């Protein structure tokens, strides 16, 4: 099992490499709600992965989403569709308006092409909805393939390194006067 958050950041920030198994285990730790994984920030994962997914060319994203969806068990597919529909409906968007599945309950007959097309529209038009899907269904990023998993974890590590180097000011910093003097 991979080590700490510091180990994760060092792996991406240093000269070391990370294999597929380690990358998969780190994603699992970021997605975990176990007390031992509390330093692995789920929000950092979902926002970093969403940022990376947003930069992919349409064809690349759709191919990876199609493959991930097609390879998922039926229960995982339903979970993915349900998360996507809830995220859209929470924003007042009818999923049917994106050229995909209907606006009723969670459909049970969505094919991989339909899912990929709708997911691609969501990541472009409603990135916050895609972030919600990634937060609820983190396995999806892993199932999209190792290049996407590594790219997403790379963005997460980069953000974490940046945040460590530029910590946000705290209330005890003296406010505006503390910054001036």
Q: What is the mean pLDDT of the chain?
A: 83
Give the H/E segment covering residue 78. Answer: helix 74-89
pLDDT of 163 strictly over 80: no
Q: How far is CA 114 from CA 79, 95, 106, in A?
A: 15, 11, 14
pLDDT of 143 strictly over 80: yes
Q: Give the pLDDT confidence score for residue 179 in this predicted structure.
A: 44
Q: pLDDT tens digit string along 42-83?
A: 888 899 999 999 999 999 999 999 999 999 999 999 999 989
Closest CA to 30 of 7, 54, 5, 64: 5
Q: Give the pLDDT confidence score for residue 180 in this predicted structure.
A: 43
More confident residue, 165 or 62: 62
Do 160 and 44 contact (CB within 8 A), yes or no?
A: yes
Q: pLDDT tens digit string along 94-131?
A: 777 776 665 555 566 888 998 999 899 999 999 999 99
Task: Give the Cα separation of 28 and 11 in Å (integer).
Answer: 16
Name the pLDDT band for 14 (thresholds 50, 70, 90). Answer: low
């Amino acid at each position: 099992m991979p080590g700490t958050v510091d180990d994760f950041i060092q792996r991406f920030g240093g000269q070391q490499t990370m294999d597929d198994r380690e990358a998969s285990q780190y994603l699992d730790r970021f997605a975990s709600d176990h007390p031992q994984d509390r330093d692995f920030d789920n929000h950092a994962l979902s926002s970093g992965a969403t940022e990376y997914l947003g930069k992919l060319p349409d064809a690349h994203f759709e191919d990876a989403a199609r493959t991930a969806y097609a390879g998922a068990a039926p229960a995982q597919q339903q979970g993915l569709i349900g998360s996507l529909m809830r995220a859209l409906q929470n924003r007042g968007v009818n999923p049917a308006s994106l050229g995909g599945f209907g606006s009723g309950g969670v459909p049970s007959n969505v094919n991989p092409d339909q899912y990929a097309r709708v997911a691609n529209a969501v990541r472009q038009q409603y990135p916050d909805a895609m972030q919600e899907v990634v937060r609820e269904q983190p396995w999806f990023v892993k199932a999209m393939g190792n290049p996407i998993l590594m790219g997403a974890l790379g963005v997460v590590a980069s953000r974490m390194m940046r945040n460590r180097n530029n910590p946000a000011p705290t209330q005890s910093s003296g406010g505006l006067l503390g910054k001036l003097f």
